[in-house]
Structure 1
Amino acid sequence: MAVLLVVHHSPSPTLAELLEAALTGARDPDITGVEVRVRPALTCAPAEALEADGYLLGTPANIGYMSGALKHWFDQLLYLRAGDPPRLPYGLYVHGGSDTTGAVRSVEGAASAMGLRRVRPAVEVTGPVTKAAREACTDLGALVAAELMDATD
């Protein structure tokens, strides 16, 4: 069974709402053969991350960058996972008060250094969470999980 590891930093109700929407998609009953594991970025052990077949990442945009918690997760894994074939898929959602550009760029740079493969552009949400933002996160979770389902066929 493929493992989708959801690594998130959700310090606010807004990010918790986006996480729940992404998990709804990742756990879609039509997606089979994929185990969804959820870990806060600060407590996700490197061994857990190395067992994963793909990642769904969630972070706030903090001062133009990913959260320190997600950066810490990347720092632990960079040399352990860098260049591992095949290029594992990942998806990303980011919330910011007014801008998410720097956070997305920082995550994409770290993911690229680890040899990860983005399955679609990041879901970028600013301000209050809308129905469209929840749906985009649900779609993102389903897309990353379905990517792993296809890999196990």
Structure 2
Amino acid sequence: MKTLLVVFHSQTGGAAAMAEAAARGAGDEPLVTVRLCHADSVGPADLLAADAYLFVTPEYLGAMAGRLKDFFDRSYYPVLDRLNGRPYAVLVCAGSDGQGAARQVMRIATGWRLKAVAEPLIVCTRAQTPEAILAPKILAADDLDRCAEVGAALAAGLALGIY
């Protein structure tokens, strides 16, 4: 049995919905255990116990969420050179373009020598006013379907031994 660790942070619900959709998609694979975890509740031991990763973050001021960054800060050195080659993917719930957040996660994954198995999936809410930024996010069904597809593809690759 393989394990996919989905690590996320969400303040207004968009990134949480994306993480949940990806976990549901991955959960259809009977040979893969999916762990959906908030970034505050996981650390190095969880990374070492998993075979693949899905990192999900909102975009805050053009960057990843501070709580996801804190997870990486707490975990980076204890697992350095111990995750080499493991697969990962990135999902970003963005208000503008999400590229900065995706780049930050990818740079950390590169340092861990993880293997990207998909381009970052960015769902743009276009929230640009203080009210829209702070409002609960309801994502379109097709966006959530794309998140589920990323989770399903990652789980299938694990089950088939591709990754």
Separation in structure 1 between the aligned mates of residue 83 and residue 92 of structure 2, nearest angstrom: 27
User: What RMSD, in angstroms, separates the aligned Cα atoms of the two structures?
Assistant: 1.8
Q: Which residue of 2 aligns with 1:139?
A: 149
Separation in structure 2 between the aligned mates of residue 77 and residue 115 of structure 1, nearest angstrom: 14
Q: Which residue of 1 aligns with 2:160?
A: 150
- The answer to whether the 8 A contact 2:98-2:124 is kept is yes
Separation in structure 2 between the aligned mates of residue 74 and residue 151 of structure 1, nearest angstrom: 27
Cα deviation 1:92-122 (Å, max 9, x = unaligned)? 1101111201001000001110111111001
Paired-residue identity, %: 37
How much does 1:52 deviate?
0.7
Structure 1: stretches of 5+ with no match in the other structure: none
The more displaced of 110-119 and 70-79 is 70-79
Separation in structure 1 between the aligned mates of residue 10 and residue 123 of structure 2, nearest angstrom: 14
- SS of 2:63's equivalent in the other structure is coil
Query: Which fold has the larger relative contact order, with Cα–Cα distance below 8 Å and residues 6 or more apart in sequence?
Result: 1
How much does 1:80 deviate?
2.6
Q: What TM-score comes out, normalization by structure 1 length?
A: 0.90
Could you say which structure has the larger radius of gyration? 2
Q: How does 1:69-148 map to 2 (within 5 A)?
A: 69-84=67-82, 86-127=84-125, 129-148=139-158
- The answer to whether the 8 A contact 1:81-1:115 is kept is no
- The answer to whether the 8 A contact 1:89-1:147 is kept is no
Cα deviation 1:48-92 (Å, max 9, x = unaligned)? 121111101110011111111111111122223233365000111
Q: What TM-score comes out, normalization by structure 2 length?
A: 0.85
Equivalent residue pairs, number = 151
Letter of the 1:4 counterpart:
L
